[in-house]
């Protein structure tokens, strides 16, 4: 892991491979290692830069002056400047797609292509907004993820296909263990990020400005970000492509790693001159 400092806070990131640059964004409550299957394959032909979101993985808590995902997109642009990367593509899952779209709008001359996975760039639906804020407040109050909440979150993140297997997949076990072992001040810092995610601004009215190749991917059993939302984004983003990942939930890249990796390879190969 390498380090980059923003306003006195240290961001950690992986930088693997050579070639055209792919900037990855992981899901809320995860970290850069989530992308390991895709990094292993794509780093053979591309330079993969994979940061840990603030308060996640090995990155510090967010700088005090960060108030939105727009601010975080600016931090990602600063990282690219630090690495002297002039142009790059973005692969973002969940919150990674949300800030990825922000970055594509902030610096359209530098972003070559955008992959929006298991995400939605519109407003959080009101009922879910209230539900997520209540869960975050409960976690902050107890400085932990209570067991009933852990069961609820795990069931939301994965498909029924993964959860009903006789032997629980390793990535499900690892996620459950992470939630059980996370406590104390980190909960409040992660909660702060979560509120920025679920209180994000609406980008659906700005999709006319996304004048670049866009691939939308979503697990067919994604519960937090249902397939309908991906269809709405496809309708709004001219020329975008939609791929539904079979037998996958919110963390589709781990549930169906070969399918997702192949879809990403096909997309970027189709853009080659």
Note the pLDDT tens digit of each residue in 154-179. Answer: 999 999 999 999 899 999 999 999 99
Q: Can you tell me the distance from the alpha carbon of 174 to that of 72, in angstroms, rounded to the nearest whole number?
A: 27
At 153, is the pLDDT very low, low, confident or very high (cuts 50, 70, 90)? very high
Region 124-139: mean pLDDT is 97
Mean pLDDT to the nearest integer, 178-186: 95
pLDDT over threshold 90, residue 260: yes
Q: What is the mean pLDDT of the chain?
A: 97
Sequence-separated (6 or more) residues with CB below 8 Å from residue 210: 101, 104, 105, 114, 237, 238
Q: What is the pLDDT of residue 135?
A: 97
- pLDDT at position 209: 97
For residue 257, the model assigns a pLDDT of 98
pLDDT of residue 169: 96
Can you name the CATH fold of 2-122+200-270? Answer: Rossmann fold (3.40.50)
User: 222: which residues sit within 8 A by CB, 6+ positions away?
Assistant: 118, 159, 248, 249, 250, 252
Residues 228-247: tens digit of each pLDDT:
999 999 999 999 999 999 99
Percent over 90 (pLDDT), the chain: 99
- pLDDT tens for 9-31 read 999 999 999 999 999 999 999 99
Give residue for tokens 């996958």. Answer: 248
Cβ neighbors of 77 (< 8 A, separation 6 or more) are 103, 106, 107, 110
Q: Which pLDDT score is estimated for 273?
A: 81
Query: pLDDT tens for residues 42-87?
Result: 999 999 999 999 999 999 999 999 999 999 999 999 999 999 999 9
Q: How many other CB atoms are there within 10 angstroms of residue 95's CB atom?
A: 25
Which residue, among 201, 22, 186, has the nearest Cα to 99 in the 3D structure? Answer: 201
pLDDT in tens, 210-222: 999 999 999 999 9
**What does the domain layout of the chain look like in residue ranges?**
2-122+200-270
pLDDT for 272 equals 86
User: What value does the mean pLDDT take over residues 85-99?
Assistant: 98
H or E stretch including 47?
A: strand 47-51
Average pLDDT over residues 187-201: 98
């Amino acid at each position: 892991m390498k380090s980059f400092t923003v306003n006195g806070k240290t961001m950690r990131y992986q930088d693997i491979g050579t070639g055209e640059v792919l900037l990855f964004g992981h899901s809320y409550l995860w970290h850069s290692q989530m992308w390991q299957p895709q990094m292993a394959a794509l780093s053979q032909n591309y330079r993969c830069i994979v940061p840990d979101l603030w308060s996640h993985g090995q990155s510090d808590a967010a700088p005090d002056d960060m108030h939105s995902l727009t601010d975080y997109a600016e931090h990602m642009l600063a990282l690219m400047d630090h690495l002297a990367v002039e142009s790059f593509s973005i692969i973002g899952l969940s919150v990674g797609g949300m800030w990825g779209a922000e970055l594509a709008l902030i610096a359209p001359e530098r972003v070559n292509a955008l992959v929006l996975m298991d995400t939605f760039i519109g407003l959080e639906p009101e009922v879910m907004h209230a539900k997520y804020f209540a869960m975050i407040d409960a976690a902050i109050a107890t400085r932990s993820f209570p067991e009933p909440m852990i069961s609820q979150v795990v069931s939301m993140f994965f498909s029924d296909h993964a959860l009903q297997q006789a032997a629980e997949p390793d990535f499900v076990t690892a996620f459950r263990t992470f939630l059980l072992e996370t406590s104390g001040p980190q909960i409040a810092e992660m909660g702060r990020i979560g509120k920025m995610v679920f209180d994000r601004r609406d980008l659906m009215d700005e999709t006319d400005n996304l004048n670049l190749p866009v691939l939308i991917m979503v697990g067919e059993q994604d519960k937090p970000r249902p397939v309908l939302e991906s269809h709405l984004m496809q309708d709004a983003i001219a020329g975008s492509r939609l791929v539904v990942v079979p037998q996958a939930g919110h963390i589709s890249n781990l549930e169906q790693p070969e399918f997702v990796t192949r879809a990403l390879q096909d997309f970027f190969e189709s853009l080659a001159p």
